[in-house]
Structures are given as structure tokens and as C-alpha cells.
Amino acid sequence: MLTSESLARIDREIAKYPADQRQSAVMAALAIAQEQQGWLSSEAIESVANYLGMEPIAAYEVASFYNMYDLKPVGKYKVSVCTNLPCMLSGGVDAGDYLKKKLGIGYNETTPDGLITLKEGECMGACGDAPVMIVNNRRMCSWMQPEQIDKLLAELK
Amino acid sequence: MAILGALNPMLSVGLDGDNAWRLADYVKRGGYTALRRILEEKLPQGDVINEVKKSVLRGRGGAGFPTGLKWSFMPRSFPGDKYVVCNSDEGEPGTFKDRDILRYNPHSVIEGMAIAAYAMGAARGYNYIHGEVWEIYQRFEEALDEARAAGFLGSDLLGSGFNFDLFAHHGYGAYICGEETALLESIEGKKGQPRFKPPFPASFGLYGKPTTINNTETFASIPYIINLGGETYLEAGKANNGGTKLFSVSGHVNRPGNYEIPLGTPFATLLEMAGGMRGGRQLKACIPGGSSAPVVPAAAMMDCTMDYDSISKAGSMLGSGAVIVMDETTCMVKALERLSFFYYEESCGQCTPCREGTSWLYKVVHRIEHGKGRPDDLDLLSSVTTNIMGRTICALGDAASMPVQSFIKHFRDEFAYHIEHRKCLVPVDVQRAGSGFFTATV
Amino acid sequence: MEIEIDGKVAHVPDGSTIMDAAQQLGAYIPHFCYHKKLSIAANCRMCLVQVEKAPKPLPACATPVTNGMRVFTHSELAVKAQKGVMEFLLINHPLDCPICDQGGECQLQDLAVGYGGSASRFHEDKRVVFHKDVGPLISMQEMARCIHCTRCVRFGQEIAGVMELGMASRNMHSEITTFVGRSVDSELSGNMIDLCPVGALTSKPFRYSARSWELSRRKSISPHDSIGANLTAQVKNNVVLRILPRDNEDINECWISDKERFSYEALNSPARLRKPMVRVDGALREVDWNVALDYVSHALKDVVSNSGAESLAALASPQATLEELYLLQKLTRGLGSGNIDFRPRRRDFSADSKLGGVPWLGLKLSEIKDLDAAVVVGSFLRKDHPLFAQRLRQLAKKWGKVSLLSVSGDDPLIKLHAQVTVSPAELPLALAAVVKAVAQLKGEAVPAGLEAVKPCPTSESIARSLLEGNKRAIFLGNAAEQNPHAAQLHALASELARLTGASCGFIGEAANSVGGYVAKAFPTALNAYEMFAQPRKAYILLGVEPELDCHHPQQAVAALKGAALVVSLTSFSDGAARDYADVLLPIAPFTETSGSFVNTEGRLQSFNGVVRPLGDSRPAWKVLRVLGNLLGLPGFDQDSSEQVRDEIVPAGEGFVDGLNNSINGVPLSLPAAVGFLQRVADVPIYFADPLARRAPALQKTHDAVAPTARMGGQTLQALGLTDGATVRVWQASGEAVLTVRVDEAVPAACLRIAAAHVSTAALGDMFSAINVERA
Ligand SMILES: Cc1cc2nc3c(=O)[nH]c(=O)nc-3n(C[C@H](O)[C@H](O)[C@H](O)COP(=O)(O)O)c2cc1C
Ligand code: SF4
Ligand code: FES
């Protein structure tokens, strides 16, 4: 189920840890599997577990514990908005509301065209740049005033 | 530029250019001279630790534990592997300094860790980087490659016979992994659930081996301490509060961002550096050390200097140096509701008081905020917090309780008003204006 | 270390916790997550106590004792902390004890009485947790009751050796679950039910069949394997409704296997034989006991006088009690026949006359934890001996080097030092390689007969493990005892023991594998194999079902069908005995009779019946005694099973005499290879005995799926077969039609086809040549 490209990336992660500690690469491996598939199906979790020589339930514990893993399908773009207090003071909640209105969906929902899933995130470690949001766990967007949000949405197609 | 302002800076000196993070730039700024000197002079390990002790550097991750002392806990003659681990998980709401250190000055962390590894006899290290800052993680990986290629990492560092390799581990969204033993569990490929201590990481850490964990900023300060000498570093701050520190200022100020100032600098000065209050409004309260620290009302805050002792005297904690500034447009109930949600969400779920207690706290504050408060709710909240505090495996239980206690203590009237009138003392449109977000109608 | 708890002083070793010290003093500290056999989680926080000079209450289960420590378990601070935790545990817990299956035996309920508040201050909605289906044994219907102590998770990781349950998610949404939709399959899984302090994990077969306070608790001993696990049978209205472990640190610790826990369902099976039956005009008819016994005694006398005593043979199950085995051999010998045996699954009896004494484990079970190295030869460890395997698992986790030389590469879930997997015919060779490696390492002469053996690096590493440390052991498992070269394996293991100073012994197949020898139920004429290979006129069967329990069932059934008289003492009416038996005598299973088992370490354990015999069943020792009387034989006048036992073993002895694993006069020689394809027959755990076979819940588990023809990929290719193909397999004139499954754990050129199942009962020897072709 994992492509050879994914496996090669996972191997690079495994190499960071002592030889008898393959399990240490599970977070990275799950992230790579999620990138490949768009989300983490139980088959994907199981392949990762088998590849690293751990019990599937142990990999599932990890996948369900860290909140950047998606155990259900999400839209092509997952936009997570930080609404924690420091961001809230500088418009984080407002930015979320703005997005909800523009997309016509609430948090944890996906636009009918399957393009965008909206998530409420926790502190992203970028409170000085509020409002902040992250696209697909990777791209951090700072100072997201309405104008910047409009630009972002125009770009996500 | 990265660090928006600084007084008497060290860490943030010379970080203006786009390539400040590159090895070449770092070396030009005097980087890796500390490591090189230690290796070339074969400085005894004890001397390195002593220099750090002299600096009175206190951990920048939140607890403020003296770093030199921590290093001296590592067993000297241990037959197996030992590890140094950097905590860049930075998930404490309000804190965003480690991100900038890694973004603009990653080699200072690498050098600091290499020095630490030398001092404690560790051959391997990991830097655990917050999940949400992918670009920073990628950049750090690149910096590691540079350092490895230049012989600052790997085997036989600069021909000294000393081996140290360092790897980056990317988090994936769990605040609790900032707690050092949860972080170790996470590196081991498990859920980030804190371990019961004792045993402490110095005797049973990563993979069961002796391990020292420090914050990013702590490690980044090490090269400067070695270069300047511990005493000079100490003098940059004030007694018992050595050196300079980065403060992440967020909330209702004109220029949120990171500021490096000597410990002991007045809060007023910091506030001024951050451009003062947004829209010229009045300061209502400030959380001076990250969301887990007790809130301090305006008047008391204005009397503080930014150091461990002064903030502690004001009934709070310097913590990670995250200064969350709130002006008069802030509804304290709503602010607390959001914080309580955070701790409820981020509890790892293993210990009873935290798992059950944080959800109870949140549900009650949520009810109050939504006009369903009961007259005895405030007593209930205090009682629940006392049942959590000091009874959990890690400090998240305390971290969840302190905001609740301090918000109610200092703003009891506002909470009581909410319960009685089923609405906020601060009108909703006033609150909205505070955020400065352009509320367009779509 | 000296510690004072509530004013009482204890002395404990360094590294002890406050909880350890409290237990030593008999002081009770409330707790949920703590369990003496599991790692410390310290997550429930119920055990918070006050420690002098500590600013906060500390968890007793995890806090190490320091010298001079003073602890207060009932101080205001401690009780306040404990009550606080109890309140947290209860806010989301359903408060419906009256309808909870755990009601009356719930630790939360018990403690809530002492530590819970009266009125709830929690006005929010309670947590909702969805139920899970994890198979036929454990119910996870009521997961909202879970208090997240993680005992079940730790049990899987640490004791069962396989993590099947985990705590997924985080915060108050944490929940115990298997990996998406999977069942819990460990052969030790039922222990999680006992470990669960609340009603979250419950027994599916038992659920809602009784309230705990309606049950009386009676002691018993497990008949299922050679460990002799101590049991508590819970009884209501003369019916066994539940079997639980009874703590015995020297034997089963606090565990039992699922086979021991759930086989009780067969005791209440509609297939129980309730009345004696005699074949009249070709059909079995119910008759009264006196009619049946009269018939049997006359028929036996007829056979003996018409055809000679040697035309009679008796075969007993090794699960029969010591007293039953003893009286059966006495009766058989009284009639003049030496054709008596209790080892139906054996093939090679050539060691019988060469034994130094009663074969046994070679050491005490409780000594396993102190071994430096152990080598197991020929065993499907987990499935043959779940608790014995568990002890080795713990040993391997500490320091012991455990190696396995066997006929299948199944994962024993033990951190093995080395594993060698060969065909049954090559097993002696593999063991010989270790023997030779030891001799070479010690610079001693290579034992005669092993000149041609070439040790490989693995055998050398096993050899080295046996030469290090002070305490080492060699264990011969079921597949070694049942091997056609069992005597060779025994001789080789003895030689290895001699060379290394290790102990050598047999794990033993069943509850009385040692007891059968003590009762002298072994042959002086034809053995369990020969008595069918050379058909007899009359057979007495005691608790055995030869069609499933014999090494060569096809041959056994043919002989039984051809016999003039077959008397089966059995608890069940639904076996193949319906076809071949002339008399069925309903005997009481272990819960309905008194008796004794001698476990593998030679420990004599006597027990009483826990319920009255069902229907007209009678304890078999009584039946045999009356038969002895009717036959006019001397020495059949015992009034109780105790009197019978005292005839065998001196009263008051805890362990039997004469245990000795030496073997003399079996020269070492290596067997020739078998033709291309050899059968490897395991005895699947839930087909292994008449009770397990009839326990409905066990029969729904993964371990009870019907046998397939398993082989490695290379064998598959060589045979031109494909995975999933239907094949016809045959040995002699019997055949079976099975599905092919690729299984790389099967040694090359072998076909693994389980024994003890109706679908394979027509086949022949467990470990000989077999043929296969596409069906
Ligand atoms: C809930 C919790 C979260 C924490 N988060 C962080 C964090 O994000 N970064 C950090 O450096 N330390 C964090 N800490 C503190 C660490 O456990 C640890 O004390 C610190 O990394 C030690 O480094 P220092 O001595 O250099 O400060 C956290 C502690 C707790 C209890
Ligand atoms: S206090 Fe909370 S976060 Fe910390 S270990 Fe306990 S449950 Fe986990
Ligand atoms: S028994 Fe000590 S914390 Fe659970």
C-alpha cells in the first residue's frame, strides 16, 4: 500500500534512530503515509505498523493521539485556524468565522466540492503573527486578515 | 527581521540578512568558536559545566531550572549510550520564540547541543520540533546537513575524537509533548504520555538511557556563555536571573513579536518596545509566562520587571517568556473558556484528575460564558482545581488549574456578573473591536 | 529500608514502593491501576498518600521508599486526595450498579462506598463511549464504565506478550479498543476480565447469567494441561457458571488460560451423557446402572475366557484423575491384561523399559524465573502450555536466554535467544547439533553416533547459552513426546543435560501426564499405539475419544469398529463412540468428582467435586470400583477417592516420589529422512480435549477455525499448488479435503495439518509421510 517513494522516505527517518528502535520513526512514517493518501486509513496505519515491526494497535494509538493525523478523509486542502487565546486577541476567532461564512461550512466540515476542510487548531507556535492558519499541515499562513484570506482561497483550487 | 527589537542582545545579534541562518553567516558572526575552542583545548567536561553554572542560566522552557545543575545530574561514567535532547515543541499558547531561534539562528542550537553533549558525554542527540512549523523543521534539517558537512557533527568532531550526531524529530500536534518525558515517549514512537518521576531522565531517559532535555533557547544561549564567560553572561541580567531572554509578546499590542532583553528589564519597557497598547487602549491584564502562568492584573503587572523573581512575587511565573497582553476589550470569561478548552483538549488522558478534571473545568466555564452559570459554580471551579493540582503525573494538571484560579481570583466580579446576568460585562461589539480584525460581511 | 506507615514499621528492600511496604504490613491503600504483576502506571491516582515533608500527596504505587520515610494513608490530606480522585472517577461513570454485570464484585463500587461523596456536583452530560465487538470471549459492551487504568493494555503487552488492546485518542476521549474491528485472540485474554476493576470488560459467556452474590465459590484444579492451574468454580443451583483463577504463586500465579476459563461451558452442554447406554440390536438404549454394569462385567469375562486376557485393552485419557487411572490399570491387570496406556498421542514407546523413573519437568515451575537459559524442544508453546509459555516470556524479559527447537516457526511471543525450525524427522538432528556443539565447546569427546553431525552457528549459540550461568533447563514439549523418534530426543536431551549440567524434563501434555506413571497406567504389554495396530477383541476407554485423541485416529477407529466389545466411560453422548461403542457409561467430569492430578513438577493436587454429578453420571473411580467388585477382583473396596489415592501415594505428601528423567540404554542414532512430504500435526488449543471441543464460545475463536493444509511458499511451488486451492491429502487409506494456506512458519517439505479435528480424523500418523494432490 505504501509506494516505493514513501518507503524510501520512511527509511530515511528510520536511519535517524538506533537500529533496534524502528518504532521511533512511526510519527514520520504515518505523516508520510498520510501525505501519500490524503488521510490515514486503517490499511495505511497497518502497513506502517508492519513495516516498523510494531503492533497495529500501537500505531493506531499514535495516529489517534496526535491531532495532525486525519483518520477520516479530508478535503484536498485542510485549513486549520488557530483560535487559541493569543490568536483570539488578534482576530483568530474572527478569521475562523470569516472562513466559515465564505466557505459555507463549519469546523470539521468539508466543502461540498471536496476542496476544503476547515479545522480549529491549537496553538501553532506563531502567536505573534495572528491570525494564523496552516494548510495541509505544512504551509503556515501568517497575518491572515480578510484580504489575505481571500487571496489564499483564490489560490486553493 | 526576525527579532523585532532587542536591548543588549546576544542571541539575536546580526540576524538581519536572509541568509543569517546559514552556516557561513553564523561562522562569520563568531559561530562555532566556542565548540572549536572546547574541542581543541580538550577542556575538561567539568569546566564546561562549571561555566554554565556560573552563568546562572535558568532553563528557558518554562520551569526555570538551573541548567548547569541539571547537566551535573548526568552520570559521569555510564557504560552505555547517553542522549541530549532539545525541546523545540513550543506549544505553550503565547510562546513563539523557539520558532524564530530555529528560523534565524539554528546553528546556535546545534552548537549549544554539541557543547552540551561534550560536557555530558553523549554521542547522540535529537531536536524535537513542534508539528505545526514544518518549514522550520525542514530548515533545521538543512542546517544539520551543513553542520555535518563542516565537521561540527558526526564522528570525530573537528578531529578531536569526540563523536556527536544530531537528528531532528518532527512532532505532529500534541501540546503535551513539550513535557519532557512525554517528549521522550514520543521520540520512542509512542503516544506522548508523560512518565512518572522518579526515575528522572538523567537516570532513565530516552530508550531508558541517561538523558538531558533542555529548551531550544537554553541550548542557543550556551555558545554565548562559553564565549563571553559565565560571569559576563550573568551580569547581563540580574542576580539569580542570568543573561538575556527572548520574550514573545502577543495580544493587544501594536507590534506583537519577539524581543530579546536582559532579565530584569521593566515590563513597561518591553511593552513600549512592542509598540504599546493597540489603539491606545488600557491594559487590563497580562499573562507573563505563557498560558499556564497565572494572570496578573494591569496595575501589578506595570510594577514588574521581567525576571523570574519579580514575576513570581507578583503571583505568577516567568515560564517560557510568553507575554499575553489583554486590554479592556477582553472578556475574561471568554479568555478563560478558550484556555480551559485548550487544556481539556490537550490532556494526555492518563491520569484521572487531569483527564476528568480538565473536561469538567472547561464544561463549567463554557456554561458560564454561555449564560448557563450557576451561583455555586465559582466555588465548584476552585474546588475542582484544588483536586487536580499536585495530584497528577505531570504539570499539565497544574497548568490547567492556575489560569482558572487566577482568573477567578482577580476577576471574580466579572465572572459573577456573567452568572447573574447571563451575559458579558464587556459588550460584544467592544470585544470584537479589540481584535482589530476587519469584520467584513460576506 | 525502614518505613513507617500509619505508625507501623516495616523493613523493605531498596527499590520497594510504599505500596509494597503497605502490603507487607497488611495496610490497605485504595488503588485501581496498580497490580502486583503489571508494570506501574500510576495513572489512576487513587493511591495518593501523605508522606512526611512532601508538599503534595504521593502515589503509593509508584513512590520509592526512602529510609526513615513516614507515611500516612488516612490523614486528612490523604483522604481528601483520595476522595477527590474518587469524585473524578465517578463523574463520567454510569451510576447503575444494580444493573451492571460487575455489580457486587466491582472495585469502584466497593471503594465508592468509602470514598465517594453523597450528592454529585457534576451537572454536565456524561461521556458516551461506543461498545466494541472483540470476539466471543470478552464483552466490551459497556465501555463507558472504563476508568482508564490501562491494566488490560499492560496485561497484553507484558503478560500475554501481544498488544491487542490499546488506549486510543487522548484526553477524556481516550478509549480502550482493539485495532479497528479486530478481535482479541490471545490464549490468555480472559485474564483481562479479572484485571478490569470495573464492569467494562466482562465475560461474554457469563454475562448476566448470575449476580456475584448468588454464586458459591468452590476450589478446583484445572484438568486441561500439565500445569495444574488452581481454579475457583462459581456455582449456582448446582451449575458451574464461571471458572476463575485461584492465586497460587508457585503454579499459575494469578492467571489461567482461556481454555481453562471457558471450557466450563461444556459441563452444561446438552451433549452431556446422562444415563448409561447399551447397544441392543444395533442401537444404543438407555439402561439403569446396574443393568449396564452387569452387562459390562459379563461381556468382559466372556472376552477374557473366550479369547484370552491379552485380547482386552484399556486406554485412558491423561486428563483422567490419578484415582481413575489407578483403578483402570488395576482392573485391566486384574483381568490378566497388560494392554493399558494413558498416552494416546504417542508414537514411540521404545524408551518405556529404559526409564529411570517417572518422567517430569525436571524442576519446579517456580524455579523457571531463576533460569539463566532454557531450551525447549518440540513444542507449540503458547497453544500447548499457555501458562508455561508465560513463565518463559517473563524469564526472557529479564535475563534468561530462551531457545526453541521445534517443528513450526510460530511466534511464541517470547523474546527468543535462538529459534530452529525443522521437520519432525529432523528434530533429533537439530538437537544432536546442539549436543555436539556443547561437546566441542567443552573440548570433550563427541558422543558416539553424532560423528557426522555438523553444528551450525545457531546450534552453537544455543550450546553457549546452556554453558553460561548456573541454572539452565531443557524441556521436551508435546511435539517431542509425540515424535516418532521420541526416545532419541529424550536420549539426546539427557546427553545434553549431562554435558551442560542443565536439568532435563518433559513439559507434559495433560493434567496427569506425570500422574499416569505414578498410577502405573502404562503398558506391560501393548501400548496405546500397538493396541490399535494389532486390533483387540475388547476395549475399555476412559475419558478418551480415540477418533480425535490418538496419534493414528484412522487406525484406532478401525480397530474399535472391528472389536466385539467397546466400553466407553465418557461424559458425552455426541462423540464417534455412538458408532463404535457397545456401552456408554456416563462419568463425571472434574467438577463433579473428587480426585487428584499430579502436575508436571510432580505436585499432587487433590480436589473435590464442586457440583453434584449431572443426571445419572457417576465419578469414574466409583464406576471402576463397582466393576472391580462385579468382576470379583481383589482390592476394590475403597470407600472414597481419598482411600484410592492413599493406596498410590503416601498420605500427606505434596509431591510424588520416583521422579527421574534418566534414560538408559538408548544408543544415539539419527533417523533417516522421510519421503518428500511430511506431516506436522499440531493439536489446536481448543480441540485438545473433550471439554474444550464442546465449549461453544471457545469454538468461535480464531484458534478454533477448521484446519487447513499449511505449507511454506517453496513447498507450495514444488507441489505446483496455489494459496487457497482445495486439495486432497491422504495417509494410508484415510484422506481429508482441505484448503491450502501459505504459512512460512511451516518447515520446508512439510504439510501442517492439525490433528484432533473431525475434518482430519480420517488421517493417519501425526508426523509421518503424507500425500497431497489438487482436488
Ligand atoms: C505541559 C507541559 C508543557 C511543556 N511544554 C514545553 C515546551 O513547549 N517547550 C519547552 O521547552 N518546555 C516545555 N515544558 C517544560 C519541559 O518539561 C522541560 O522542563 C524543559 O524542556 C526543560 O528545559 P529547560 O530546563 O531548558 O527549560 C513543558 C512542561 C509541561 C508540564
Ligand atoms: S497531568 Fe494530564 S497531561 Fe499530565 S500525565 Fe496526567 S493526564 Fe497526562
Ligand atoms: S494505584 Fe497508584 S496511581 Fe493507580
User: DSSP string covering C230-272, please?
Assistant: EEEEEEETTEEEEEEE--BTTTTBT---HHHHHGGGGGG-TTB
Other Cβ atoms closer than 10 A to B200: 15
pLDDT tens-digit series, residues B261-311 = 999 999 999 999 999 999 999 999 999 999 999 999 999 999 999 999 999
Sign for the pseudo-dihedral over CA of C216, C221, C225, C229? positive
Q: How far is B54 from chain A (nearest CA, A)?
A: 31
- Count the alpha carbons within 13 Å of B53 in the hemisphere toward its beta carbon: 12
Please return the burial class of B50, using the count of CB atoms within 10 Å of its CB with bins 0-12, 13-18 and 19+.
middle
Q: Ligand 3: does its nearest atom lie under 6 Å from the Cβ of C38?
A: no
Angle between helices A146-155 and A92-103 (to 10 degrees): 40
Instruction: Specify whether the CB–CB gap between B258 and B216 falls below 8 A.
Output: no
CA–CA gap between residue C60 and residue B337 (Å, rounded): 34
Q: Ligand 1: does its nearest atom lie under 6 Å from the Cβ of B146?
A: no
pLDDT tens-digit series, residues B10-60 = 888 888 888 999 999 999 999 999 999 999 999 999 999 999 999 999 999
Interface of A with B in 23-42 (CB under 8 A): 23-28, 30-31
Maximum distance among all Cα pairs of chain C, rounded to whole angstroms:
91
Instruction: Specify whether the CB–CB gap between B389 and B346 falls below 8 A.
Output: no
Band (pLDDT 50/70/90 cuts) for residue C118 is low
CA–CA gap between residue B222 and residue B115 (Å, rounded): 8
Q: Bridge-partner residues for C668, per DSSP? A: none
* Nine cell digits for residue B275: 509598540
Instruction: Specify whether the CB–CB gap between A76 and A39 falls below 8 A.
Output: no
- From the list C165, C169, C170, which residue is nearest A57 (CB)? C165
CB contact under 8 A, B363 and C148: no
CA–CA gap between residue A80 and residue A132 (Å, rounded): 9
Which pLDDT score is estimated for B10?
A: 81
Which pLDDT score is estimated for B374?
A: 96
Distance of CA C197 to the CA centre of its chain: 25
Contacts of C739 (CB under 8 A, 6+ apart): C708, C709, C724, C725, C726, C727
Once rounded to an integer, what is the mean pLDDT over residues C38-54? 97
Instruction: Specify whether the CB–CB gap between B98 and A130 falls below 8 A.
Output: no
To which residue does cell 485391566 refer? C332
CA–CA gap between residue B404 and residue B414 (Å, rounded): 13
Once rounded to an integer, what is the mean pLDDT over residues C582-602? 98
Which residue in C296, C132, C264 sits closest to C201, CA to CA?
A: C132
Which pLDDT score is estimated for C672?
A: 79
**Residue C57: what residue type?**
P
Maximum distance among all Cα pairs of chain B, rounded to whole angstroms:
73
**Residue from B92, B183, B184, B193 whose mutation best tests the ligand 2 pocket (most atoms within 8 A of CB):** B193
Q: Residue by residue, what is the 3-state secondary structure of B131-142?
A: CCCHHHHHHHHH
The alpha carbon of B197 and the centre of ligand 1 are apart by a number of angstroms equal to 15
Which pLDDT score is estimated for B16?
A: 84
Which pLDDT score is estimated for B441?
A: 42
Q: Ligand 3: does its nearest atom lie under 6 Å from the Cβ of C40?
A: no
Q: How far is C57 from chain B (nearest CA, A)?
A: 7
Contacts of C728 (CB under 8 A, 6+ apart): C735, C736, C737, C772, C773, C774, C775
Instruction: Specify whether the CB–CB gap between B435 and A91 falls below 8 A.
Output: yes
Cis, peptide link before residue C457, omega less than 30° from 0: no
Instruction: Specify whether the CB–CB gap between A118 and A100 falls below 8 A.
Output: yes
Instruction: Specify whether the CB–CB gap between B267 and B12 falls below 8 A.
Output: no
| Chain A residues touching B184 at Cβ < 8 A | none
Q: Bridge-partner residues for B323, per DSSP? A: B249
pLDDT tens-digit series, residues B59-114 = 999 999 999 999 999 999 888 999 999 999 999 999 999 999 999 999 999 999 99
B429 touches chain A (CB under 8 A): no
Instruction: Specify whether the CB–CB gap between C418 and C458 falls below 8 A.
Output: yes
Average pLDDT, consecutive stretches of 10 residues, N- to C-terminus, chain A (157 residues): 96 98 98 97 98 98 98 97 97 96 97 97 94 96 95 94
In chain C, the percentage of residues whose pLDDT exceeds 90 is 95
Band (pLDDT 50/70/90 cuts) for residue C98 is confident
Which residue in B209, B214, B186 sits closest to B63, CA to CA?
A: B214
**Residue from B89, B92, B175, B176 whose mutation best tests the ligand 2 pocket (most atoms within 8 A of CB):** B176
pLDDT tops 80 at residue B1: no
Going by their DSSP bridges, the two strands C401-406 and C373-377 should be labelled as parallel
Band (pLDDT 50/70/90 cuts) for residue C120 is confident
- Ligand 1, closest atom to CA B180? 17
Cα distances (angstroms) measured from residue C538 to each of A98, C373, C578: 92, 48, 16
CA–CA gap between residue C667 and residue C661 (Å, rounded): 16
Q: How far is A81 from chain C (nearest CA, A)?
A: 21
> Which secondary structure element, helix H or strand E, spans residue B43, and what is its range?
none
Residue C253 falls in which region: left (phi positive, over 0), alpha (psi -120 to 50) or beta = left
CA–CA gap between residue A113 and residue B220 (Å, rounded): 47
Residue nearest to atom 8 of ligand 2 (CA): B348
At residue B422, the 3 state secondary structure works out as coil
- Ligand 2, closest atom to CA B182? 5
Which residue in C127, C14, C139 sits closest to C67, CA to CA?
A: C14
Instruction: Specify whether the CB–CB gap between B125 and B164 falls below 8 A.
Output: yes
pLDDT tops 70 at residue B362: yes
Which pLDDT score is estimated for B439?
A: 53
What rounded mean pLDDT belongs to chain C?
Answer: 96
The pocket around ligand 2, CB under 6 angstroms, is made up of: B 176, 193-194, 347-351, 354-355, 392-394, 396-397
Q: Bridge-partner residues for C598, per DSSP? A: C604
pLDDT tens-digit series, residues C692-712 = 999 999 999 999 999 999 999
Q: Residue by residue, what is the 3-state secondary structure of chain A?
A: CCCHHHHHHHHHHHCCCCCCCHHHHHHHHHHHHHHHHCCCCHHHHHHHHHHHCCCHHHHHHHHHHCCCCCCCCCCCEEEEEECCHHHHHCCHHHHHHHHHHHHCCCCCEECCCCCEEEEEECCCCCHHHCCCEEECCCEEECCCCHHHHHHHHHHCC
**Residue B157: what residue type?**
L
CB contact under 8 A, B390 and C62: no
Which residue in B273, B339, B344, B340 sits closest to B306, CA to CA?
A: B273
C172 touches chain B (CB under 8 A): yes
Going by their DSSP bridges, the two strands A133-135 and B211-215 should be labelled as unpaired
Q: Ligand 1: does its nearest atom lie under 6 Å from the Cβ of B87?
A: yes
Residue C495 falls in which region: left (phi positive, over 0), alpha (psi -120 to 50) or beta = alpha
CB contact under 8 A, A91 and B437: yes
pLDDT tens-digit series, residues C521-541 = 999 999 999 999 999 999 999
Which residue in C723, C709, C722, C703 sits closest to C678, CA to CA?
A: C709
Contacts of B353 (CB under 8 A, 6+ apart): B387, B388, B391, B392, B397, C45, C84, C85, C88
Cα distances (angstroms) measured from residue C755 to each of B68, C553, C762, C766: 67, 9, 10, 7
Interface of C with B in 118-137 (CB under 8 A): 121-124
Other Cβ atoms closer than 10 A to C560: 24
* Closest chain A residue to the Cα of C162, Cα to Cα: A55
Other Cβ atoms closer than 10 A to C282: 5
Residue B66: phi and psi, rounded to 5, are -60, 125
CB contact under 8 A, B350 and C43: yes
B176 touches chain A (CB under 8 A): no
Band (pLDDT 50/70/90 cuts) for residue C675 is confident
Taking the CA of B359 as reference, the closest ligand is 2
* Nine cell digits for residue C173: 476521549
Rounded CA Rg of chain B: 22
pLDDT tops 80 at residue C617: yes
CA–CA gap between residue B248 and residue B108 (Å, rounded): 19
Which pLDDT score is estimated for B297?
A: 98
- From the list A45, A57, A64, which residue is nearest C163 (CB)? A57
Q: Ligand 3: does its nearest atom lie under 6 Å from the Cβ of C44?
A: yes
CA–CA gap between residue C393 and residue C353 (Å, rounded): 35
Q: How far is A94 from chain C (nearest CA, A)?
A: 27
To which residue does cell 544561549 refer? B221
pLDDT tens-digit series, residues C550-575 = 999 999 999 999 999 999 999 999 99
At residue C55, the 3 state secondary structure works out as coil
The alpha carbon of B92 and the centre of ligand 1 are apart by a number of angstroms equal to 9
Angle, CA of C456, C461 and C465, to the nearest 5°: 150
* Nine cell digits for residue B429: 461589539
CB contact under 8 A, A55 and C163: yes
Q: Ligand 3: does its nearest atom lie under 6 Å from the Cβ of C572?
A: no
The alpha carbon of B356 and the centre of ligand 2 are apart by a number of angstroms equal to 10
B96 touches chain A (CB under 8 A): yes
Length of chain A: 157
The pTM (predicted TM-score) of the whole model is 0.96
ipTM: 0.95
In chain C, the percentage of residues whose pLDDT exceeds 70 is 100
Task: Choose, out of C63, C76, C88, the residue to mutate when testing the contact with B (most B CBs < 10 Å).
Answer: C88
